Amino acid sequence: MSQQATALTAEQLRFSYGSQPALQGLDLEVAAGQTYALLGPNGSGKSTLFRLISTLAAMQQGSLQVFGHSVSTARSQVRSMLGVVFQSPSLDGKLTVRENIRCQAALYGLRGAQLSGRMDDVVAKLGLEERLDTPAEQLSGGLKRRVELAKGLLHRPRLLLMDEPSTGLDPAARLDMWHAVQQLRQSAELTVLFTTHLLEEADKADGIAILHQGRTVANGEPAELRGSLGGQVLSIQTEDIEDVLEWLRERTSQARRLERSIQVIGPEASELVAPLNGQFGNRIRSITLGQPSLEDVFVARTGHRFWKLSEENVEAETEPATQRPLRSAPPK
C-alpha cells in the first residue's frame, strides 16, 4: 500500500508508563478513506495509541506515520492533518454553538471570509444551522457531540481521531452521531479512526484492529474477522463442565472453558449438538448454535471473554476520567 493510500502506519510500537508496559510491539495499517475501529477492553493499549497518534505523548520505541509523515520528526505536519474529538467534553456550556466553534477557529488562525465559509460548511453538514445561537449547555448529548465534530473538522483535517465518541449517549443519539460521521466521510476526503469498547459499534466500521495487552491480535473487515473462525459457534451451559469438556476434547481440539460455560468454534460445532444431547441429556441446561461474533473472534485470539477483561483490568494508560467498566452485555 502506497503512502498516499495509507492514512496510518504503526510498526513495532512500544510504550511504557514506568515499569508498566502499555504497548508491546503493536503493528497497524489503516487505509485512507476508511472508518477504522480500535477495539479493546481496558489495558489493551488503545488509549495510549490514540495519545501517540495525536502527539499528546512522546514516542518511545517503534515507528508511527500519518500519511507518510513521522509523528516523531514531523509533529507540526501531523498535527495539521489531524482533527480530534476527545472522550471528555470540550464545549463551554455558557457559550453558544457559534461561539464554541469560533473559539476553535481562533486556535487555527481562521478568520474573516475563510472562517465564514468553513463554518457554513461544517454546520450545514452536521445539521446545526438552527442551533448556532443556542448555549451549549442546553443541547442534548447527541447535539453536543455534533458540535464537537464541527470543531474537529473546521480546519479540514485528513484524519479524524475519535476517542470513545459515543460515551454518555443513549442508543438513539449514538446512531444519530454515527450517521453524521458516515455522511462526513463520504462527502470529504476523510479517514476516521476511533477507539471503542462496544462490540456492536466496532462492527459498523470498514476495518477493525482488535487490541489485547498492547498488541494487535486481529485486524481486517468485520465480516472477514468473523469468517476467519471457519465455522459456527457452539455455546454450552452445564453444571458438569469438567465432564462435558473432557467428552468434547476427545472429539475436537476447539473446545474451551469460559468461566461458567463451554465454547466450541469450527466447522464441526453443529455436528456435536445431537451427540451432546444424547450423552448428557438434562445435565445440560442450554445449547446455542450461531454465527461467530466479534467477541468470539476476541476469545479465539486471546482465550478470554471480552466483557470479563473489561471488568477486571485496570488500564494504566488512561486517566481516571476514562476508567470505567467496558462491556458488551455479558451472558446471563
Please check the confidence at residue 41 and state whether its pLDDT lies above 90: no
Let me know whether 38 and 181 are in one domain: yes
Range of the domain at 192: 6-224
pTM: 0.81
| Whether residue 242 is found in the same domain as residue 160 | no
Please, which residues have CB within 8 angstroms of residue 82's CB and are 6 or more apart in sequence?
A: 53, 54, 55, 66, 157, 159, 160, 161
The reported pLDDT for the residue numbered 11 is 97
Same domain for 41 and 160? yes
Give the pLDDT score at 307: 57
Indicate whether 284 belongs to any domain.
yes
Query: Is pLDDT of 290 > 50?
Result: yes
14-28, 188-202, 234-248: least confident range: 188-202
Query: Would you say residue 33 lies in a domain?
Result: yes
* Residue 72: predicted pLDDT: 94
pLDDT at 191 over 60: yes
Question: Quick one: 157 and 210 in the same domain?
Answer: yes
Question: What average pLDDT does this structure show over 247-264?
Answer: 89
Enter the C-alpha cell of residue 22.
502499555
Q: In which order are the strands placed within the sheet that holds 20-31? A: 20-31, 6-17, 61-66, 69-70
The pLDDT tens digits of the residues spanning 65-79 come to 999 999 999 999 999
Give me the CATH number covering residue 182. 3.40.50.300
**Is residue 173 in a domain?**
yes
Is residue 238 domain-shared with residue 177, that is, in the same domain? no
> 118 and 172: one domain?
yes
Of the two residues 214 and 3, the one the predictor is more confident about is: 214
pLDDT for the residue 184? 79
pLDDT, mean over the chain: 86
> Do 16 and 126 belong together in one domain?
yes
Question: How would residue 172 be classed by pLDDT, with cut points 50, 70 and 90?
Answer: confident
- Both 210 and 240 in one domain: the answer is no
Residue 332 lies in a domain: no
Q: How far apart are CA 308 and CA 194, in angstroms?
A: 22
